[in-house]
Amino acid sequence: MIEVENLTQVFGDKAAVDDLTFTVGSGTVTGLLGPNGAGKSTTMRMIVGLDRPARGSARVNGEDFRPAEHTRRARDPRNYADLGPFSVTTAVEMGGIEPPSIAG
């Protein structure tokens, strides 16, 4: 379960996230939708403890992740790429293809 209460983040004089409250129950799938700059990434960074909120709290399964507790979280360093005209299945299948060797 994810519980967010009055979550706020301010950059300078601009509120990137302003008094956000919501709950996501265990086993549900939920997405954050909005235009660029709406605060989606900032919200997620506060939930997982990468950024400290200016106000409010965020808990995952009852635990509040603070930025100092880096040993309790991990970050996914992968970069996601546009697959272009390929389906996910085709892209995965291409991962098993041996690249041609370069004769020297």
The reported pTM is 0.63
What Å distances lie between residue 54 and 9, 33, 59, 70, 100, CA to CA?
A: 5, 22, 15, 19, 53
- Averaged over 14-23, what is the pLDDT? 96
Residue 43 CA to residue 55 CA, distance in Å, equals 12
Query: What is the gyration radius of the CA atoms in the chain, in angstroms?
Result: 19
Residue 48 pLDDT > 90: no
3-state secondary structure of 45: helix
Please name each of the domains of the chain with its CATH number. 2-68 (3.40.50.300)
Residue 47 CA to residue 67 CA, distance in Å, equals 10
3-state secondary structure of 7: strand
Residue 80 pLDDT > 70: no
